[in-house]
Chains A and B, each alone.
Chain A
Amino acid sequence: MTDALTSTTSAPVPEKRSGRGPWATALSRLRRSRSAVLSSLVLLIIIVMCALAPFYASLAGSDPFRSNLGGKIMLNGAEVAVMQPSTTGLGLGVSPIGPTWTTQYMLGADTQGRDVAARLLYGGRNSLFIAGAATVICLILSAVIGIVAGFSGGVVDMVLSRIMDVLWAFPVYLLAISLSIVLLNSSFSIGPFTVTSGSLILPIGIIGVIYVPYVARPVRSKVLTLRNSEFVLASVGLGMPVHRVLTRDILPNVVPTLIVFVPILLALAIVTESALSFLSIGVQPPDASWGTIIQDGQTLLYSRPMVALAPGVAIAVTVLALNVLGDCLRDALDPRFKLG
């Protein structure tokens, strides 16, 4: 008896539909969000600054990867030693110069007499590069595992899901540490590729792998719902080959799920890389990253805190911008959270 009320045949009321697809809608939502624009801007500035590292280094005039214990710079018209006689404690030994706020040793020097500001920019290149590459690896692996597990079901799904369960129960840092310590101290080859110890590939690979369960699980459940949705069942029923179903029906719908993870993974990767480097099992000297600089600054913490503070602030600002962007992206792509 409710037929009259639910009938929707031939509506004479013209319905105006916005002709934009979900991507355009999401993009316009992002553009209208002040936090999204601001955080993107901050990230852009950080990336540009790190890209310009060689430019600053040439201004500073000293090699940020070589120790410069006997170096001297011109400051306010006077020649000043980079390593100065210590004024604190017993007055023994030397302590590196503090922030000069000029183009030379802007943030002071570290224990090796190297320009901290230059190392910060070069370190940022490594930190960002590692984070970016690890994120790409993680997304690809997660997409493959999630789609294979979700789409094939049965034994394949069970095995993959159980493996993910085990990895998931394993604290990420311990997993990263275990992998690092085993792989770090010797070069090895996988097929034609030889990985030398100290290569950036190690932290990239390790960070890329350890976060896979966190992304593969949601991808799998998304694929599972998609596989049982009417349009996929229809495609399968019409005899469409599996690879067509995957590329035309599944993948486009998984991509938003993956994209939401991009800023979050980048943020996690930056923090994880810095922690590994801080524990001296991430980026290896003479290469720098924000984590290794914090470690360099540890012994100078009370006398020249800038060495440890600056890279920490760089990490915090970058990660904060990524987290804000992540929130905005999720709001824009996932209407369920729109009201939140």
Chain B
Amino acid sequence: MTEPLLDIRNLSVSFATESGPVTAVQDVSLSVAQGEIVSVVGESGSGKSLSLLSVLGLHDPRNTTVGGTVTFRGQSLLDLPPKQMRHLRGRDIAFISQDPMTALTPVYSIGDQIAEQIRAHERITAWAAQARAVQLLADVGIFAPADTAKRYPHQLSGGMRQRAVIAMAVSCNPALLIADEPTTALDTTVQAQVLDLLRKLRTDYGSAIVLITHDMGVVAEMADKVVVMYAGRVVESGPAAEVFTNPLHPYTWGLLGSIPPLTGTRPRRLPSIPGAPPMVGRVPAGCAFAPRCPARLGVCSTEPPRIGTPGHTALCHLTDSQRATARPTTLESA
């Protein structure tokens, strides 16, 4: 097996707050191979965006400390000098943020903003950069790209803006795209178009994609690999097909249960996971999911072990037999 493109090992992120340091992300490991789509799934506040932002060095260094190792193409990112990190951002690793409404600077035209990124990384004339911007807008399926390039963000619809953001992200042919809930703020029909576009970009540009989402439906449609996060930790990770057919962690069961079935009788109501995830800094000891877990055991108040096969692991106390009995009952009761 070749060296992965991005390799995150034991990443931790903590904040300094008014009442002392608070750990928001703990012991997160994941790797992304060339051209692969990896989905990071979890509820809001599970630390999924934060992990990837700190990988990019986009956290606030004044109150955030990041630990662990992050390797990109064999290069360690966390101790890279800011200047080199900057050259990497936008050129080798691009970022697509959640809300296209606020992701673009309101006072510059779309074309200018794309050209700005190209010119930050390549020696190219302003005119050529603008021409590239128009070409990129055409590539992401924008009708009348030359006209759109001259427009300002507030003059475009949400879907158009997200396409523009994506065009900007791929403008320097990045090897890795980090997309933070790229479809959450969009209408359902537009969501599908944007996902199609991301898939197409993977084939056209060969970029690997880290897709941060809370939507298991999106994961099922896109991902090669799945990383499930809960309360700042990875509770399950593995190839998408395996996680969907044989989920190990009760939290993943809950997430899968929330996908409406496409065939068969329609359930009267979709099962949901009771309760809410713990707030950052108020994570209970032992397994963080235990208070909401349908298969909770006495041992769950202690640190759970990492179980499973090398490719597909979970952070859980349940043994295989306990899991076999617990899962059907939770599905029924739900």
Do A and B assemble together?
yes
List the interface of chain A (C-beta within 8 A of B): 1-5, 7-13, 15-16
A to B contact number (C-beta, < 8 Å): 55
Contact B272 A7 (CB under 8 A): yes
Contact A12 B217 (CB under 8 A): no
In the A-B complex, the 7 residue pairs with the closest CB atoms: A4-B258, A4-B272, A7-B272, A12-B291, A8-B276, A5-B43, A11-B275
Is B259 positioned at the interface, with any CB of A under 8 Å from its CB? yes
Given A4-B271, A7-B272, A13-B284 contact (CB < 8 Å): yes
29 contacts between A and B (CB under 8 A): A1-B215, A1-B216, A1-B217, A1-B260, A1-B270, A2-B214, A3-B272, A4-B254, A4-B255, A4-B258, A4-B272, A5-B214, A5-B255, A5-B273, A7-B272, A7-B274, A7-B275, A8-B276, A9-B274, A10-B274, A11-B276, A12-B274, A12-B275, A12-B292, A13-B276, A13-B291, A13-B292, A15-B282, A16-B282
B215, B254, B274: most-surrounded residue (chain A CB, <10 A): B274
- 1/0 per residue, CB under 8 A from A, across B107-138: the answer is 00000000000000000000000000000000
Determine the distance from Cα of A67 to Cα of B143 in the docked complex, in whole angstroms: 87
Given A12-B291, A12-B292, A13-B284, A3-B270 contact (CB < 8 Å): yes
Contact B282 A13 (CB under 8 A): yes
Minimum Cβ distance to chain A for residue B54 (Å): 18
Determine the distance from Cα of A317 to Cα of B279 in the docked complex, in whole angstroms: 45
Contact B279 A15 (CB under 8 A): yes
Minimum Cβ distance to chain B for residue A36 (Å): 15
Other A-B pairs beyond A1-B259, A4-B270, A7-B276, 10, CB < 8 Å = A1-B260, A2-B215, A4-B258, A5-B214, A10-B275, A11-B275, A12-B274, A13-B276, A13-B278, A13-B292
- Chain B hits for A16, CB < 8 A: 282
Determine the distance from Cα of A5 to Cα of B217 in the docked complex, in whole angstroms: 13
Is B57 positioned at the interface, with any CB of A under 8 Å from its CB? no
Q: Name B256's closest neighbour in chain A (CB-CB).
A: A4
Minimum Cβ distance to chain B for residue A96 (Å): 55
Determine the distance from Cα of A10 to Cα of B274 in the docked complex, in whole angstroms: 7
- Chain B hits for A7, CB < 8 A: 272-276
Q: Name B283's closest neighbour in chain A (CB-CB).
A: A13
Is B257 positioned at the interface, with any CB of A under 8 Å from its CB? yes
Determine the distance from Cα of A336 to Cα of B71 in the docked complex, in whole angstroms: 37
- Chain A hits for B258, CB < 8 A: 1-5
Minimum Cβ distance to chain A for residue B257 (Å): 7
- Chain A hits for B276, CB < 8 A: 7-8, 11, 13
Determine the distance from Cα of A16 to Cα of B259 in the docked complex, in whole angstroms: 32
A1, A8, A13, A16: most-surrounded residue (chain B CB, <10 A): A13
B217, B254, B258: most-surrounded residue (chain A CB, <10 A): B258
- Chain B hits for A4, CB < 8 A: 254-255, 257-258, 270-273
- Chain A hits for B257, CB < 8 A: 4
Determine the distance from Cα of A1 to Cα of B278 in the docked complex, in whole angstroms: 21
Determine the distance from Cα of A4 to Cα of B214 in the docked complex, in whole angstroms: 10
In B213-260, the 8 Å CB interface with A consists of 214-217, 254-255, 257-260
- Chain A hits for B44, CB < 8 A: 5
- Chain B hits for A1, CB < 8 A: 215-217, 258-260, 270
- Chain A hits for B282, CB < 8 A: 13, 15-16
Minimum Cβ distance to chain A for residue B295 (Å): 14
Determine the distance from Cα of A194 to Cα of B175 in the docked complex, in whole angstroms: 83
Determine the distance from Cα of A113 to Cα of B292 in the docked complex, in whole angstroms: 83
Contact B216 A13 (CB under 8 A): no
Q: Name A8's closest neighbour in chain B (CB-CB).
A: B276
Determine the distance from Cα of A8 to Cα of B278 in the docked complex, in whole angstroms: 11
- Chain B hits for A5, CB < 8 A: 43-44, 214, 255, 258, 273
Q: Name A18's closest neighbour in chain B (CB-CB).
A: B19
Determine the distance from Cα of A1 to Cα of B254 in the docked complex, in whole angstroms: 12
Minimum Cβ distance to chain A for residue B84 (Å): 28
Determine the distance from Cα of A4 to Cα of B279 in the docked complex, in whole angstroms: 17
Minimum Cβ distance to chain B for residue A239 (Å): 35
In B132-152, the 8 Å CB interface with A consists of none
Q: Name A32's closest neighbour in chain B (CB-CB).
A: B18
Determine the distance from Cα of A11 to Cα of B284 in the docked complex, in whole angstroms: 13
